[in-house]
Structure 1
């Protein structure tokens, strides 16, 4: 059975919100990808409801790519406590945390529903399940707690 890193992480020890570099993987034909844990809420204490995390997913796909080059994918965890971010480049956790912070601030301050890409039946597999209100409220909560560049020691950026 394959060992999956995220299932070996002690979720009772981490202190969200934080950014963590999970791994750097080298491809069989060259190239390296970095996988990050963008943990927005404390595991096993709360979870972002599906409409809110779905909207954050669509916004992160656009807004985080405006801040960091080489992003391959940003996908929510099934537990709805955060996201994986896969990148061609390895950034410091502080750089990613700063990009995440400014993205959340933009969501709070500027984003209107018309700014969200992929929210029609043609462009989304569950287009009725979005909530900008929820995405904004969670962004405010996360920003008020501060985003750490370390999962175990609060090093707020």
Structure 2
């Protein structure tokens, strides 16, 4: 196998969620860089978010992280297949400490959210599968348990 999958190299029995972890920095052919972060909400192999809640939290964080970022820094927020968190990809060589305030502020916004952005058949491929209550629960759990 030519390329290693970084997350497969992580010992999931040794990490303690919630956490923000800098996964790697990628450098493009023209010298631009981007950083991938592991935003872990649930303890691996012990907990997992339900799909409606993780789906709603993805929608909310997609908006709120961009509001908190400077300019167009956020490239992508992707839920992990194991449903324990998200991968955040952002322009530049960034540190976890720089992302921390952005994420915590975004999660605080989730707590007061009353409407799910883009939760309709035009803007979402599975608009019926959302749970604002679960998204708020996951945000609250992260905020109450982080550090």
Shorter-chain TM range is: over 0.9
1:75 matched to which residue of 2? 78
Shift of 1:67: 1.1
1:19 matched to which residue of 2? 20
Runs of 4+ in 1 over 4 A off after TM superposition: none
What secondary structure does 1:66 align onto? helix
Shift of 1:61: 0.7
1:149 matched to which residue of 2? none
Deviation track 1:55-88 (CA, whole Å, cap 9, x = no partner) reads 0111111101111231100010000101110011
Q: Quote the Cα distance in structure 2 between the aligned partners of 1:30 and 1:16.
A: 33
1:105 matched to which residue of 2? 108
Where do 5+ consecutive residues of structure 2 fail to align?
Answer: none
Superposition TM-score, scaled by structure 2 size: 0.93
Greater shift after overlay, 10-19 or 85-94?
85-94
Contact 1:16 1:41 in 2 (8 A): yes
Shift of 1:91: 2.7
Superposition TM-score, scaled by structure 1 size: 0.87
Q: Quote the Cα distance in structure 2 between the aligned partners of 1:107 and 1:42.
A: 21
Cα RMSD of the aligned pairs, angstroms, is 1.1
- Give matches, 1:33-72, under 5 Å: 33-69=34-70, 70-72=73-75
**Residue 94 of structure 1 pairs with residue 97 of structure 2:** yes
Shift of 1:90: 2.9
Paired positions, count: 144
Deviation track 1:16-38 (CA, whole Å, cap 9, x = no partner) reads 11111101011123311110111
Shift of 1:92: 2.3
